[in-house]
Amino acid sequence: MTKGNVKPQIRFSGFHEVWEQRKLTEFVEFFSGLTYTPNDVQDDGTLVLRSSNVSNGEIVNADNVYVNPQVVNSENVKVGDIIVVVRNGSRSLIGKHAQIKAFMPDTVIGAFMTGIRSECPEFTNALLNTPKFEDEIAMNMGATINQITGYMFSKMEFKVPCLDEQKKIGEYFSNLDHLITLHQRKYEKLTKVKKSMLEKMFPQDGSNVPEIRFKGFTDAWEKRKLGDITESYSGGTPTAGKKEYYDGDIPFIRSGEISSDKTELFLSEDGLDNSSAKMVKIGDILYALYGATSGEVSISKLDGAINQAILAIKPYPNYDSQFLMQWLRKSKETIIGTYLQGGQGNLSGNIVKELLVDMPTYSEQKKIGDYFEQLDRLITLHQRKLEKLQNIKKSMLEKMFV
């Protein structure tokens, strides 16, 4: 979209007029937030919305603050209002916003927020999601203090269509936001279910049976050293300086790609034969040993080669890969906390081999492994749907606005 364009690339049928350049203050009204002191805060009363209450374009309950209603001298939020973060210690949070979509009695905004009202709030909310609004923030934000003032807002200009077209655009993005929120909540709910079940379907410290297990299984679980029930090895790096070794069709899996079915580098057979890189097969357990990804674990989705930052783990017969991978995933925080000071440093193959795993019978392992594999697939499905909708929104914000 070139700077001189006065029509969007995509628009609804029946609209042909050019969009007009208008100051933001010409089509919205602002209202200020409440200034309060620590002495005004109490366990209940009037809710004060702050930056922590804005997440992914939605109003959320997070670190809620309530104040004595008697000190409130600012107006209550209304359905349709858009609340914007205008001052914050983090520069990246300036401009973060959300629309009030349900009646919220006894609720105001904080002093570091600004409220916006307009005749077509859904359109205005979508407008504030566009790159153009980000550009306006960057041009007008203070150089030393992370804030947007009323004067800065007054200098912002946008191209806008007639009111009827605004309503059409607003309705479209409102429906799209609803779908995104729906999949976001489903995804978050499933991840919480998984976290809970990882705790309940494996024994807690001091116990040899889990809180929840499949019908028909009653035997106590037994501890096994991971090194006694699996074989494992780490890889290496193709010969330094030999860029031609990367010109091939063998995926070179690195620790940052442990959960992916795609890689950026591909080795030639010469690159593999002349290096310490090692091959893994689809279904092998990949465990990250080094750096920020230490403790990350997944089942390999590729036949490929691994570097020294990854430990490949292959269970012996009668030990299930999915079960062991989920145990390692569930135990990540404990392992990191035990072997890495402050989360810094690297794990090693020897450390991993000495880990004591709570093991049920092979049949119960399979049941548990299959259950979490299906749950992972469902989580991935909603995650991909969510990412697809977010990409659609990003594209349409660029093509439906000028």
Task: Output the pLDDT for position 175.
Answer: 97
Q: Is the predicted pLDDT of residue 99 greater than 60, yes or no?
A: yes
Measured distance CA(250)–CA(71) in Å, rounded: 67
Q: Would strands 250-253 and 304-306 be described as parallel, antiparallel, or unpaired?
A: parallel
pLDDT bucket at 341, cuts 50 / 70 / 90: confident
Measured distance CA(33)–CA(29) in Å, rounded: 14
- H runs (alpha helix) in 344-361: 349-353
Measured distance CA(299)–CA(158) in Å, rounded: 49
Q: Could you give the maximum distance between any two Cα atoms of the chain, in Å?
A: 77
- Answer with the residue of higher pLDDT: 3 or 136: 136
Strand boundaries in 245-338, DSSP class E? 250-253, 266-267, 278-280, 285-288, 297-299, 304-306, 310-315
Average of pLDDT values for 277-292? Answer: 90
Measured distance CA(9)–CA(109) in Å, rounded: 36
Measured distance CA(324)–CA(85) in Å, rounded: 45
pLDDT bucket at 1, cuts 50 / 70 / 90: very low
The residue type of 374 is: Q
Measured distance CA(380)–CA(355) in Å, rounded: 29
Q: Taking the mean position of all CA atoms in its chain, how far away is CA 56? A: 10
Q: Is 217 exposed, middle or buried (0-12, 13-18, 19+ CB in 10 A)?
A: middle
Task: Output the pLDDT for position 256.
Answer: 84
Measured distance CA(49)–CA(97) in Å, rounded: 11
Average of pLDDT values for 301-324? Answer: 94
Measured distance CA(369)–CA(215) in Å, rounded: 15
Q: Indicate the average pLDDT of the chain.
A: 91
Comparing C-alpha atoms, which of 103, 100, 97 is closest to residue 130? Answer: 97
Measured distance CA(225)–CA(351) in Å, rounded: 11
Contact 238, 252 (CB under 8 A): yes
Contact 31, 82 (CB under 8 A): no
Average of pLDDT values for 160-179? Answer: 97
pLDDT bucket at 2, cuts 50 / 70 / 90: very low
Q: Report CA Rg, the chain.
A: 27
Measured distance CA(211)–CA(246) in Å, rounded: 49
Full-model pTM = 0.82
Comparing C-alpha atoms, which of 50, 117, 29 is closest to residue 81? Answer: 117
Extract the tokens encoding 327: 């145990």
The C-alpha angle with vertex 304 and arms to 302 and 306, in degrees rounded to 5, equals: 115
Q: Would strands 46-49 and 107-109 be described as parallel, antiparallel, or unpaired?
A: parallel
Comparing C-alpha atoms, which of 22, 370, 372 is closest to residue 191? Answer: 372
